[in-house]
Amino acid sequence: RSGSALVRVTAGVLLFLGWSWNPRGSFSGLGLFISRYLLSASLPFEPWVESLASYPAGEAEPNQFLDWACGQLLEEVGWINGITWAAAIGGATVGRREGNLVRFHQSGVDFVIYTDHPLTPAIIWQFNILLQLLNEFYLARLREGKLRELGYLQAIYETGSRLTHDVKNILQSLNALCAAAESEGAVASP
């Protein structure tokens, strides 16, 4: 008797949890409530993105920008011990390299975040989004540097070709003047 009562209670609890997780009608369910809570209660997304966008364009090298942005994230999220990043042109650590670590691989930069406690999947997902955004800013700074370098090289090329053209014109003019002076002879030209 007590075994069948336990089965009935367990079945009732499972039925209630199944209905409350994904109900029909106007009630949105516990699943949506928990998802909203997990996605809204963790990382300061907006202030950090505003600080990234307010960083002056062309001010520093991409590595310095990554150091600064990781430092900003470390300040915004107090429970992070440290962040390590590694890219093709360098790497650095901001903060302490101790505690639990989570690795993130973005195109161009690898990040490692150190925390005191293990991160939940929702927090890992949010960090992945933040670091993807940081990586895009970093790649934009790399492209900006390459464009600036190409513009500099183009200016040198154009200046050199103008100078070469002007020197060629001067030499042709001097050659014509020397030829005129040689062929003048005894009779003065008008």
Q: What is the pLDDT of residues 77-116, one digit of tens each?
A: 878 899 999 988 888 999 899 988 999 998 889 999 999 8
Using the predicted structure, report yes or no on whether residue 46 has a pLDDT greater than 80: no
pLDDT category of residue 186 using cuts at 50, 70 and 90:
low
Alpha carbon distances (Å) from 148 to 30, 119, 132, 137: 53, 40, 24, 16
Beta bridge partners of 112: 84, 103
Which strand ranges, in their side-by-side order, compose the sheet holding 100-105? 90-95, 80-87, 109-115, 100-105
What mean pLDDT is reported for the chain? 81
